[in-house]
Structure 1
Amino acid sequence: MSEDNLPLKKSVLNLSPAVHGGLVRKNAQKHGIGESEILDFSASLNPLGTPFEYCGNEFNMDEMLKQALEKIHHYPDNRYLEFRKAASRFLIESDTTYENIVPGNGSSEIIRLVAESVLYHGDRVIIPEPTFSEYEIQCRIFGAEIINTHQDDIFSISDEILEDARIIFVCNPNNPTGKLISRNKLEKLAERCEQKKTLLFIDEAFSELSDPRQSMVNVAIENDYVFVLRSLTKSFAIPGIRMGFGVATQRMAEGLNNSRLSWNLGSVPDTVATELLNMDSGYNNSYFIRSRQLIEEERNYLIERLSNVRGFKPLDSSVNYILVDIEDFLMDSSELSRRLASRGILIRDCSSFRELGNSYIRIAVRPREENEKLIQAIGDVLTGWGREQAREELKHTIETIAEGGSLGRTTCEYYPCHFEDQDCIFCFCPFYPCEDERTGGKMVDRSSGGKIWSCQDCHIIHDKEVAQKILDIFMNEGDNEENLRSAWRRVMEPLL
């Protein structure tokens, strides 16, 4: 049966699934690594860990689960009054009440609820890029037309374009750039949206981990054209329990609560979220104060270390992840992500974000020990890349000679990289990294930390006679690993 015969809307048939980080199980299965052995820098979770780990006996997961399981024989109370009251108390510096709260099964469900409740087929939606892909996915399901603009241009959108749109999405702090927009700027945009009858949807999923003072919650409870989304899974580092909430005026919240799915929170997320949201001092609890301190400390550390990797340009961030420009790096985002994943390190390949292409990666801020392992893994990837380049160069050399070609490289921009009249048959040493200091090579401090093998003071492979002997072995006997070791024993060892 062709797609044309399916009883699905065209807007659904043309969708591509959103791409997210946090694919621990998928990568564990793909690379044959235990899930517990993988370090995940692709999902931006609170690096302090869960409140269950930090707050001692204040929060007991076993007790929460026991309470939740006692409720599984009954339908949840669709009003979710305890949850909504706890959410309003969590927002300590606002005048929010439970009547302003819309509970949801994580960010994506709430985004879909708003899109479904606001959009008509053919409506226009403004989405600044790059940003979270779920906004576009959820709006397209309901037949919306997407207007993309750059993040830096959202405050200069013309009145005509703004008035013609039903929703404008703003992620603050932005995912993936980490930029935080001040509340003052957003208040001015909110005034324009109210005048033009355009809903300003503000995603504050990372607010507790950045600067909660910039939140627009107090505006949302007074302005029918402002909706604020809060996600709890990232702030509390428990993405496996889907929970979040929206904040709106009482009229808006009532309408959304009436139209949301019945029982959209099961007993476990309802119970756990309610307990966590009831923590003393809300988002100014010592747990979040320490979280923000740790994020700043480790973010600064990571930015410094990543800046020392040649070709890495980490961008300023106000939250627990860093966008890194790798346009001048030796490999693109997809290849680097794949190589690191094979070593049990997950980073976010940003090629799925509009405007970023293969030139950016996003790295979550993690505890110091894990951050150091990431830096070490990047160095190991570079070493492995050098070894592969040497093998590829050897293969190219053999094929060129076999076809009667010339390997003169005196026109190379780096010639001579070691000494005048050097032989350049082997641009990349086929023995790299030999790690034999008798050659003149040595382990040196890597700019990003740790050690790396340097061939700078080894000239042996560029001696004409040595290069020819090694080439003869590969030409006559093949370029496999056994002959590589044989060439080392027969040619290199006697010289050392």
Structure 2
Amino acid sequence: MSLNHGANLYDLSKKYGFSKEEFLDFSSNINPLGASNAAKDIVIKNIDQVSIYPDPDYTNLKNSISSYCHCNKENIVLGSGATELISSFIKTINPTKALLLSPAYSEYEKELKKINCNIDKYYSKHENDFKIDIDKLINHINSNKYNLIIICNPNNPTGFTFSKAEIKTLLESTNTFFMIDETYIEFTDTKAFSSTSLVDDYNNIFVIRGTSKFFSTPGIRLGYGLISNTSVKDSISSHLDLWNINIFATLMGEVMFKDTHFIENTINVMTKERDYLFDNLRNIDDLNVYDSQGNFILCEIKSKKLTASELRDKLIPHKIIIRDCASFDGLNEYFFRVCILKPEDNRLLINSLNNIF
């Protein structure tokens, strides 16, 4: 990955003489438990399908996603990763004025700049623990007549999350389009926080999800968008390549969305380990630790004994990589993010941070 998207393990392994596999990469917010065994087995058992084309309608895959997200399968658009759908949606609605809830993933701004859109930013602030007052946000939106509001929910890197009820209020209280990026939503209580079930009832919302993070499958490039606005959906679909989802991504998707054992085990392990990291990071007097519903936690070195970059450099020789958050607009050089890894890895991180501070 590039500098703005996490650690480049290839470069670090050359510089420090470690293999890529030796690093504990707390900068990469991918499920550390790996992919669904059932999904991997289906590829192994059907390896000869490499010689056939996928179903161009992706009927079984869309049925699986529909059941998983509790939405109409006719409202599903498939993409080669979530990034393709972000780009396609922005190009399709072609907003002249957009609002980004910031700090945020850098790709949103890059795509908006490609179409010369005027971009405003609505910053969540550390003095408010990065929480956003929905009434103030609604007033701001209605006062500025935006064509598009982009929300990463949970927000990366702050971890703040709007509830489903709050998103519904936003949809009903404003007159604009919302793009809700739910890349990390599956690490939360989806019944309380996910907007997928709102799509069938509101035509001014586009929900984007990918399988890279929760299902630990960045290599298959499978993303999906949910939208009931027929004209926008058809326009997005018309610009996507035929068979844009390969046969193995299709097979894995048909299975992993139904793998309840994998889903429940991931949620149980990640929730327990998130609680462990919260408790122990907050015991370090030098740090401010912010609430998160994601599989990552934002921290601030309040003592200013060292910067996040200096902390990162101290940890790398111990084969530990954290995310320096200075590149996120609205954060300074004292913010860093750690993702949740396996129990033994999380304990090593805490021990190393205690030794440093």
Q: Tell me by how many angstroms 1:349 deviates.
A: 0.9
Partner of 2:115: 142
Partner of 1:192: 173
Q: Do structure 1's residue 342 and structure 2's residue 317 form an aligned pair?
A: yes
Q: Do structure 1's residue 306 and structure 2's residue 285 form an aligned pair?
A: no
Q: Tell me by how many angstroms 1:75 deviates.
A: 4.2
Q: Do structure 1's residue 353 and structure 2's residue 328 form an aligned pair?
A: yes
RMSD (Å), alpha carbons: 2.1
Distance 1:208 1:76 in 2: 27
Contact 1:127 1:149 in 2 (8 A): yes
Contact 1:209 1:288 in 2 (8 A): no
Q: Return closer, same or farther for 1:146/1:23 CA change in 2, 3 Å cut-off.
A: same
CA shift digits 1:8-65 (9 cap, x unpaired): xxxxxxxxx881125322322232210110111111122443322xxxxxx1625414
Distance 1:216 1:89 in 2: 14
Contact 2:35 2:217 in 1 (8 A): yes
Distance 2:324 2:167 in 1: 29
Q: Return closer, same or farther for 1:106/1:22 CA change in 2, 3 Å cut-off.
A: farther
Partner of 2:290: 315
For 1:399-418, list aligned pairs within 5 A.
none
Partner of 2:254: 274
1:370 to 341, 345, 355: 345
Instruction: Considering Cα pairs closer than 8 Å and 6+ residues apart, tell me whether 1 or 2 has the greater RCO.
Output: 2
Distance 1:142 1:338 in 2: 38
Contact 2:300 2:336 in 1 (8 A): yes
Which one-letter code corresponds to 1:100 in the other structure?
N
Distance 1:303 1:109 in 2: 34
Which one-letter code corresponds to 1:275 in the other structure?
V
Radius of gyration: which is bigger?
1
Distance 2:44 2:73 in 1: 24
Which one-letter code corresponds to 2:85 in the other structure?
I
Partner of 2:164: 183
Runs of 4+ in 1 over 4 A off after TM superposition: 379-382
Q: Tell me by how many angstroms 1:256 deviates.
A: 1.9
Q: Return closer, same or farther for 1:47/1:60 CA change in 2, 3 Å cut-off.
A: closer
- SS of the aligned residue for 1:221 comes to coil
Partner of 2:225: 246
Partner of 1:293: 268
Distance 1:210 1:263 in 2: 32
Which one-letter code corresponds to 2:14 in the other structure?
Q
CA shift digits 1:414-454 (9 cap, x unpaired): xxxxxxxxxxxxxxxxxxxxxxxxxxxxxxxxxxxxxxxxx
CA shift digits 1:457-496 (9 cap, x unpaired): xxxxxxxxxxxxxxxxxxxxxxxxxxxxxxxxxxxxxxxx
Q: Tell me by how many angstroms 1:373 deviates.
A: 1.2
Contact 2:196 2:226 in 1 (8 A): yes
Q: Do structure 1's residue 229 and structure 2's residue 208 form an aligned pair?
A: yes
Contact 1:128 1:154 in 2 (8 A): no
Distance 1:186 1:18 in 2: 32
Which one-letter code corresponds to 1:39 in the other structure?
L
Q: Return closer, same or farther for 1:144/1:255 CA change in 2, 3 Å cut-off.
A: same
Contact 2:42 2:252 in 1 (8 A): no
CA shift digits 1:97-132 (9 cap, x unpaired): 321111112221111111111115xx1110011111
Contact 2:27 2:339 in 1 (8 A): yes
1:211 to 189, 200, 203: 189
Distance 1:250 1:226 in 2: 8
The number of equivalent residue pairs is 344
Contact 1:312 1:324 in 2 (8 A): yes
Which one-letter code corresponds to 2:117 in the other structure?
A
Q: Return closer, same or farther for 1:81/1:254 CA change in 2, 3 Å cut-off.
A: farther
Q: Tell me by how many angstroms 1:203 deviates.
A: 1.0
- SS of the aligned residue for 2:99 comes to strand
- SS of the aligned residue for 1:255 comes to helix
For 1:30-41, list aligned pairs within 5 A.
30-41=15-26
Contact 1:46 1:209 in 2 (8 A): no
Q: Tell me by how many angstroms 1:199 deviates.
A: 1.1
1:97 to 41, 54, 72: 72
Q: TM-score, normalised by structure 2?
A: 0.89
Question: Unpaired runs of 5+ in structure 2?
Answer: 125-131
Distance 1:62 1:158 in 2: 48
CA shift digits 1:235-256 (9 cap, x unpaired): 1122222212111106143332
